[in-house]
């Protein structure tokens, strides 16, 4: 059971946005996310949290013969952030021992730029990448 009272996040911002409103976030990941948020010291606006298998992005991965991605595991989020704030979030995430994956998308309009943070542990997986 997730103790939302001790988090700077609310269930609605982390649930699947395909219309199903499923909440599949991993409890340990949420604690890591909160630790990152505390160190970062700023609001973190989630653009994508949990994604069910029917979510269009996950469904495309499955259709192409792959497996669902890190968001499906409940161990990943995308945080809307750009500019100097993105650089600071990147520094904080890189310094956190439980963060194992960081994706950087800083192209296009500022309103669509994000940093992906996850705690997935799979062999031969990059630690940091760009979109």
pLDDT in tens, 61-101: 888 888 888 999 999 999 999 999 999 999 999 999 999 99
Give the chain's mean pLDDT. 94
- Strand segments, DSSP code E, in the chain are 45-48, 76-80, 101-105, 114-118, 128-130
Predicted TM-score (pTM) of the model is 0.93
Residue 104, classed as helix, strand or coil, is strand
Beta-carbon neighbour count of residue 74 at 10 Å?
Answer: 22
Residue percentage of the chain with pLDDT more than 90: 85
**Tokens 């013969």 correspond to what residue?**
65
Q: Look up residue 45 and give its two tokens.
A: 């606006």
Q: How far is CA 55 from the centre of its chain?
A: 15
Tally the residues of the chain: 131
For residues 32-60, average pLDDT:
96
Distance CA(97)–CA(119), nearest Å, equals 10
For residues 11-17, average pLDDT:
96
Whole-number pLDDT of residue 49? 97
Residue 27, classed as helix, strand or coil, is helix
Q: Look up residue 44 and give its two tokens.
A: 């973190």
Whole-number pLDDT of residue 111? 92
For residues 27-35, average pLDDT:
97
């Amino acid at each position: 059971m997730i103790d939302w009272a001790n988090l700077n996040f609310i269930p609605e911002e982390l649930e699947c946005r395909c219309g199903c409103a499923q909440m599949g976030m991993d409890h340990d990941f949420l604690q890591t996310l909160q630790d990152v948020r505390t160190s970062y010291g700023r609001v973190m606006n989630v653009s994508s949290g949990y994604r069910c298998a029917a979510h269009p992005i996950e469904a495309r991965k499955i259709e192409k013969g792959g497996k669902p991605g890190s968001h499906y595991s409940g161990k990943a989020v995308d945080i809307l952030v750009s500019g100097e704030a993105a650089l600071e979030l990147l520094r904080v995430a890189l310094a956190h021992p439980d963060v194992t994956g960081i994706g950087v998308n800083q192209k296009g309009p500022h309103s669509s730029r994000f940093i992906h943070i996850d705690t997935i542990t799979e062999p031969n997986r990059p630690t940091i990448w760009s979109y």
